[in-house]
Amino acid sequence: EIVLTQSPGTLSLSPGERATLSCRASQAIRSGSLAWYQQKPGQPPRLLIYGASGRATGIPDSFSGSGSGTDFTLSISRLEPEDFAVYYCQHYGDSPPVTFGQGTRLESK
């Protein structure tokens, strides 16, 4: 079973700064199987990145994904107030088909 470990657990930054969030898989995974979601309080998750680096429809280009093998990164180039939220990585594989990381909380300093 693939386990996704996200770090840091909480990231405190100021608007305008750059955010770098990590997702590490317990074994090498196919890049096409890695996605990132943003979740704000009281809302469902929102798809940001699919296939490790593809930006979902309507997602600003300040969001970017990268990585391969076991290490994947979500970057936000310049934080806006609305970017402070919880971010999850998600893997699609064989058994189980879907696993989520535990999340990284991005909070405003």
Kindly list the residues in this chain that would bind another protein in the complex (CB under 8 A).
Answer: 30, 32-33, 35, 37, 39, 44-47, 50-51, 54, 56-57, 88, 90, 92, 96-103
Residue 95 tokens read as 């058994």
Query: In terms of CB distance, is 17 or 100 closer to another protein?
Result: 100
Query: In terms of CB distance, is 15 or 68 closer to another protein?
Result: 68
* Cβ 30 to another protein shortest distance, Å: 7
Contact (CB, 8 A) for 103 and 25 = no
Q: In sequence order, what DSSP letters do the residues of 45-103 get, joined into one string? A: -EEEEETTTEEPTT--TTEEEEEEEEEEEEEESS--GGG-SEEEEEEE-SSSSEEE---
**What is the rounded distance in angstroms from the CA atom of residue 48 to the CA atom of residue 64?**
9
Query: In terms of CB distance, is 79 or 88 closer to another protein?
Result: 88
* Cβ 62 to another protein shortest distance, Å: 20
* Cβ 52 to another protein shortest distance, Å: 8
